[in-house]
Amino acid sequence: MGGTLKTTNSSNEISAFIKQHKTISKVVKQQQRLLFVIDATASRQPTWDLACSLTHSLLHATDGLKGLTLKLCFYRGFEEFRQTDWLTDADILSRKMSSVRCAGGQTQIRKTLRHALSEHQSSPIRGLIFIGDAIEEPPHEIIDLAGQCGLRKLPLFLFQEGHNLGVEDTFQHMARVSSGAYARFDLGAPGRLRDLLSAVAAYAQGGYTALTQRRDDAALTLLEQLPKS
């Protein structure tokens, strides 16, 4: 008889666990997901501390937006690509960002976009934010992957640090074919950067309509590039 009671209790616990798991999964799927990717290769070392400080500000620009969850990814070194879990707390993301250090290595933008497409196929992502200063891979291959993102309704929001014209041209092309947007990661204008990410986050939550309800220059910068939907 004791054995029967134990089995019943165990069965109830399992049922409760499954119910809780389904509830959590439902909530997670309802959240709007935004992928945040940074280039942590050696070329960014000279301005890394300042860039990190601005990135913290960018992450905190998403605070107060309910239902938005972010994942931080970065690449560096020899094919090193790391990612966090999906998180809703900007403080946790900032602490994880603080632990990242630059290391020599090639850019991994192709791997980044393939990873994003895989994540998007598993559960839709509302957008990918990328901050970088270099491209060391065939541009046509990167643009092709960006086009695949566009076909799957995964817009790319590309922030360029520096003034390399080749990088600028490729980033702008990637933004166009993915139905995303391009902007400079201007270390001298932290307020504008914060406004831009806040605008991207608003777009991730409410789409084109949410941007039209804003009155700032950052929203206008995105509206001029994004397709109406």
Q: Are residues 63 and 131 in the same domain?
A: yes
Looking at residue 88, its pLDDT comes to: 84
Question: What's the predicted TM-score (pTM) here?
Answer: 0.83
Q: Is position 229 within any domain? A: no
Same-domain pairing of 9 and 110: no
Q: Residue 120: is its pLDDT beyond 70?
A: yes
Within a domain: residue 47? yes
1, pLDDT greater than 80 = no
Domain that holds residue 23: 1-30
Residue 39 domain flag: yes
In this structure, of 9-18, 122-131, 162-171, 205-214, the range with the lowest mean pLDDT score is: 9-18
Residue 16 lies in a domain: yes
- Rg of the chain, C-alpha, whole Å: 20
Whether 2 and 69 share a structural domain:
no
Examine residue 61 and state whether it is found in any structural domain, yes or no.
Answer: yes
168 and 109 within one domain: yes
> Is residue 36 domain-shared with residue 114, that is, in the same domain?
yes
Asked if residue 12 is part of any domain, the answer here is: yes
User: What total number of domains does the chain contain?
Assistant: 2
User: Quick one: 151 and 187 in the same domain?
Assistant: yes
Q: Which of 20-34, 47-61, 84-98, 208-222 is predicted most confidently?
A: 208-222
Looking at the structure, tell me whether residues 36 and 93 fall in a common domain.
yes
- Are 7 and 53 part of one and the same domain? no
**Shared-domain flag, residues 62 and 152:** yes
- Per-residue pLDDT at 147 exceeds 90: yes
Same domain, 61 and 8: no
64 and 8 share a domain?
no
5 assigned to some structural domain: yes
The CATH number covering residue 211 comes to: 3.40.50.410
The verdict on 99 and 200 lying in the same domain is yes
- pLDDT over 70, % of the chain: 82
